[in-house]
Homo-oligomer: A and B are copies of this chain.
Amino acid sequence: MTPQPRILVVEDEPAIAELIAINLRHGGLLPVCTGDGARAQRELDAVLPDLILLDWMLPDVSGLELARRWRAHPRSKSVPILMLTARGDEPDKVAGLDAGADDYITKPFSTQELLARIRAVLRRRAPEQTCDVVAGGGLLLDGATVRVSWRGDALRLGPTEFRLLHYLMKHPERVHSRAQLLDKIWGDHVYIEERTVDVHIKRLREALGDAAVLVQTVRGAGYRFAAPTEVRIG
């Protein structure tokens, strides 16, 4: 599990989503909010969260449908799902758990109850974390053990550096703006100077040593993880 468990919040009502986000953050979790199934899917494709907080009612598809779909997909199969439903209808509860939800919670709920249930699910899942390894250009990053190695030698990274590298390596070649990185790594709804990203990139490069060339600056656009362009000899 990453230092700060990532929680993907799928909730269409912005006010509630924000409320949840605040509480999660306060509880030491890292919320990422999405308002519909499509966005949630994209987010899920990007970085696998430690837990999904899934609202029953969504604008595009039902939470039930999403849960079933994610449970069927091998990549997201093992991510625990906590269902969020308006009233404690017994049929819903059964259907939700049937679709693969690990637990469910009914609105309105207290902050403590939400956190407690999330922690319970995380704890239950913790021991059997599946592998989440990314490799590229001689670097090897393991999300499960929180370790990075360069040609076999272990590297020492701080938490933020690790998450930064993790995200960059999951989307190699692609250029990410500072704003995007803030959203994805620090979580949305937090206000941080964009230049802070630069500083962490520097610290990351320091820690990477020789592998620093893999983290490239694209002037006027952002940063990217990639093997340096080959020199063609012809």
Q: Which residues of A does B touch, CB under 8 Å?
A: 14-15, 18-19, 22, 39, 42, 80, 94, 97-103, 112-113, 116-117, 119-120, 123-124, 128, 144-147, 153-154, 158-159, 173-175, 179, 183, 188-189, 191, 193-194, 218-221, 224, 226, 229, 232
* Distance of A99 Cα from B229 Cα, bound (Å): 51
CB closest residue in chain B, given A35? B124
Q: A191-B116, A219-B158 known; A232 and B94 CB under 8 Å?
A: no
Q: Which chain B positions have C-beta within 8 A of A174? A: 144-145
Identify the 9 closest CB pairs spanning chains A and B, nearest first. A159-B220, A154-B229, A146-B175, A145-B173, A18-B97, A15-B97, A146-B221, A146-B218, A15-B98
Cross-chain contact of A116 among B19, B128, B194, B221 (Cβ < 8 A): B194
B residues near A113, Cβ cutoff 8 Å: 191
Interchain nearest-CB distance for A109 vs B (Å): 10
Q: Measured between alpha carbons, how far is A145 from B175 in the docked complex, in Å?
A: 5
Asked whether A183 and B123 contact (CB < 8 A) given A112-B193, A117-B191, A174-B145, the answer is yes
| Contact among B128, B145, B153, B191 with A224 in the assembled complex (CB-CB below 8 Å) | B145
A100 touches B221 (CB 8 A): no
Contact residues in B for A116 (Cβ distance below 8 Å) = 191, 193-194
Chain B residues near A15 (CB, 8 Å)? Answer: 97-101
CB pair B188 A124 closer than 8 Å: yes
Measured CA separation A9–B101 after assembly (Å): 18
Residue in B120, B188, B219 whose CB lies within 8 Å of A120? B188
Q: With a CB–CB cut-off of 8 A, which chain B residues contact A119?
A: 179
